[in-house]
Structure formats: structure tokens, C-alpha cells
Amino acid sequence: MNILMAEDYIILHNNLKKILSSLFDNVDASVDGKEALELYNNKHEQNESYDIVLSDIAMPYVDGVELTRIIKKINPSQEIIILSAHKEVDYLLEFINLGVRRFIPKPVVLEYFLDELYLACSDIYTQSELLNIIHLSNNIFYNKGEKFLYMDGMPIILSAYERLIIEKLILKLNLSVSTDEIVSHLYNCDKDVNPENIRKLMYRLRQKLPKDFIQSMHGVGYRLVQQVENKSI
């Protein structure tokens, strides 16, 4: 994960940066809200994002409230943690209205600080996993992040070719995929395959999955049909 920190008090700034650098892959640290906003916009322009933004409230040029307001317009789901002193409690309702739910009081207590970071990271990871999971049946799911297919909680061992074929079928879940589309997808992934060999690859792939999990459509191609049951309570 990566984090953007905005804190103008230089001693706390340096201490927090040192701690965060030991926990996160990438730490961008700013000494005021204007610099933080520039860093955030640069990240956004590169089609990237910060997992967490950690911000003080009282800062030069752009304060924490305005920084939060602008960031939430760019990315409403951005995880933001606010560092707040007791004298700044009047701002808390405004932050809550902006969608901020995590606050770390000043003076910063290391144990509490680490607990809040852990909870935030855990929530992000859980949400990311949920978004990455595609349930194909009641006991089979595909993890888009890992690009692995699981059955009964265990990964199905697939060859590189089989994995790419599954990937293509899932991209067009419940729809037919022609042999030419599969060949083209493999070719774009640096796997040159003769169309005549697709049938053999599909046969081996289907042997690793439940019967009729991948359907052959005569003269059309193949189709992976989602088989999740809707259970009412």
C-alpha cells in the first residue's frame, strides 16, 4: 500500500514519516495542504491513487478541511485519516459530513496510531478482495487480483494457456467466446497458438472443472456460465 501524509509541524512530520516508511511501500510526505494536493493530483493524472491520506487540520495555504473536500470530489471513496488536536473538535462534524470516519488525536500515541492504521489497511484490503472475487458457482470463484481460480477454497492448478483462456471466458461471462477470440487473446499475451489446438486446450481445461462448467457451443465457440444459486433467508 501507499500513503500520502500532510503535516506541517516538522518534528512530528519527520517522526511520522520515519514510522510510515517502515510500514508502507511508498510514502509521499508534504508540509502543507497545497503541496499535498499537488502530489494527490499528480498521482491521479497518472491513473494511480493513494490507499490512505493522512492529514493534519491546521496547515498553511490549504487546511485539512479544504484538502479533504477537494480529494473527496476527486475520489469519494478515498480513505482519509485526520490528525486532530483537542482544540480542533469543532471541525470533526464537518469531516464526518465529508465522509471521514477515522481520527487520531494529538499528541499522537504510537500504539493508537498503529491500531488506526492497521484497521484502515484491513478495511481497504477486505474491500479490495470483495471487489476482486467473482463467484462462478457455490464452490468455485475467480480472484481477479491474483488471476487464480479456486474450487472448495483451494486453487485449481492451471497451465499458463489455461489461465489465459479462463481469463477471457470470465471477461465475457455468460456470453459466447469464439475460437478466434481465444487465439487473439493468447496472441496478445505472447502465446502463439494454432486455432486447431484450442480444442485440445479446452478439453484439458474442462477435465479440471465440474461437468458442463464450460459449455461448447457448436459452430460458435465456448461459454462459461455463472451457476451461483440465489438462496433466500
- pLDDT tens for 40-61 read 999 999 888 899 999 999 999 9
Give the pLDDT of residue 217: 86
**Banded model confidence at residue 38, pLDDT cuts 50, 70, 90:** very high
179-192: per-residue pLDDT in tens? 999 999 999 999 98
**Mean pLDDT calculated for residue range 132-143:** 88
Sign of torsion over alpha carbons 200, 179, 146, 46: positive
195 cis-preceded (ω within 30 degrees of 0): no
**Mean pLDDT calculated for residue range 81-92:** 83
233, 190 Cβ separation under 8 angstroms:
no
**Mean pLDDT calculated for residue range 127-143:** 83
Cell digits for 104?
A: 487520531
Instruction: Assess whether pLDDT exceeds 70 at residue 201.
Output: yes
**Banded model confidence at residue 205, pLDDT cuts 50, 70, 90:** very high
**How high is the mean pLDDT of the chain?**
90
DSSP 171-222: HTTTSEE-HHHHHHHHHHTT----GGGHHHHHHHHHHTS-TTSEEEETTTEE
Q: Where is 142: in which H helix or E strand?
A: strand 140-143
Instruction: Assess whether pLDDT exceeds 50 at residue 154.
Output: yes
Q: Where is 92: in which H helix or E strand?
A: helix 92-97
Q: Quick one: 199 exposed, middle or buried, by C-beta within 10 A (0-12, 13-18, 19+)?
A: exposed
Q: Pairing mode, if any, of strands 52-56 and 2-6?
A: parallel
Residues facing 92 on adjacent strands: none
What does the alpha-carbon distance between residue 102 and residue 124 come to, in Å, rounded to a whole number?
A: 13
Cell digits for 170?
A: 470470465
- Please give the distance of CA 153 from its chain centroid, rounded to a whole number: 21
